[in-house]
Amino acid sequence: QVQLVESGGGLVQAGGSLRLSCAASGRTFGTYGMGWFRQAPGKEREFVVAISRSGGYTYYADSVKGRFTISRDNAKNTVYLQMNSLKPEDTAVYYCAANHYYSGEDNYIASDKYSYWGQGTQVTVSS
């Protein structure tokens, strides 16, 4: 089992940047695929971006391509989400999650493929 703790959220103006971090407990972080999801008020949770165990595969939602970058440091048990050119529509609670899959877009974009979730961190982008 793995526990996930997100950090780095906050309030930023449109066009600004934030970097989210997700720290994982345990010694098996490298065996988990990692994803970021977000949920805005009144909306369903949606996929944002994901990265495979070794970092060799990444998957991005169309809405964030070219603006967000996911990376991971298995030595530090941490996954990062660099968010640039933020827009008001990026406002949401951002959750990191872990799954057991090696690769495959279908295994990474669906929230029901993830077994572990963090508590979330709020990102607010003002116009």
pLDDT score of 86 = 98
Look at residue 47 in the predicted model and tell me its pLDDT.
Answer: 98
Amino acid 102: pLDDT: 86
pLDDT tens, residue by residue, 67-124: 999 999 999 999 999 999 999 999 999 999 999 988 889 999 999 999 999 999 999 9
DSSP per residue, 10-76:
EEEETT--EEEEEEE-SS-GGG-EEEEEEE-TTS--EEEEEE-TTS--EEE-TTTTTTEEEEEETTT
Mean pLDDT value across the chain: 96
